[in-house]
């Protein structure tokens, strides 16, 4: 992934906190937030990386409570994207 001068790359690891993990509703919320940003967003669990703007990709991760995932983004609004997604994860997707 090549970045231009005005693009930023950032990544951060988060722990899934909600009881049901990244199930369909939580994955849908994640993708909705991700799609508010122009940055390219990817999520990694173990060695598996998926597009953070794809609900199927997020569901494939099968991230249960306690699972660590890494969210990385590249683009002019990458910092904001990772921060917003991290807040969603840290708040347990509003479930707990």
**Assigned fold of 8-94:** 3.30.1340
32-82 residue pLDDT tens: 999 999 999 999 999 999 999 999 999 999 999 999 999 999 999 999 999
Does residue 23 have an active-site annotation?
A: yes
Helices assigned H by DSSP within 1-96: 24-34, 55-60, 78-90
Find the catalytic residue in 17, 23, 77, 80. 23
Whether 3 and 74 have beta carbons less than 8 Å apart is answered as yes
Whether 6 shows a pLDDT value over 90: the answer reads: no
């Amino acid at each position: 992934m090549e970045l231009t001068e005005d693009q930023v790359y950032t990544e951060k690891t988060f722990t899934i906190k909600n009881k049901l993990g990244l199930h369909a509703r939580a994955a849908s919320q994640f993708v909705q937030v991700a799609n508010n940003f122009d940055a390219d967003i990817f999520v990694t669990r173990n060695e598996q990386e998926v597009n953070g703007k794809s609900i199927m990709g997020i569901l494939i991760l099968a991230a249960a409570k306690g699972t660590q995932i890494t969210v990385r983004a590249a683009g002019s609004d990458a910092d904001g994207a990772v921060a917003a997604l991290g807040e969603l994860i840290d708040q347990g997707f509003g479930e707990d």
